[in-house]
């Protein structure tokens, strides 16, 4: 991963967890960042997959 992307992810992760009030010790931070990085890589392929605006999400609430 390029350094800019890694730094952006780390900054985003810190901000998101701080906003949610979720504590993260320094020693666990690299592991959480690694898992976030795996998810971000997966999301990059997924977001690039073309779906129509009208595509329905799978779980549909049935009243």
Residues in contact with another protein by the rule CB under 8 A: 12-13, 16-17, 20-24, 28, 31-33, 35-36, 38-39, 42-43, 45-47, 49, 51, 55-59, 62
Shortest distance in whole angstroms from residue 54 CB to another protein: 10
Q: Which is nearer to another protein, 4 or 23 (CB)?
A: 23
Q: Which is nearer to another protein, 6 or 16 (CB)?
A: 16
Spatial separation of the C-alpha atoms in residues 33 and 47, rounded to whole Å: 20
Hey, CA dihedral for 9, 12, 18, 19, is it positive or negative? negative
Residues 38, 42, 45: CA angle, nearest 5 degrees? 145
């Amino acid at each position: 991963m390029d350094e800019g992307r890694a730094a952006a992810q780390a900054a985003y992760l810190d901000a998101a967890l701080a906003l949610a009030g979720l504590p993260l010790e320094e020693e666990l931070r690299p592991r959480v960042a690694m898992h976030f990085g795996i998810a971000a890589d997966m999301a990059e392929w997924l977001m690039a997959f073309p779906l129509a605006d009208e595509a329905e999400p799978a779980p549909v609430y049935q009243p």
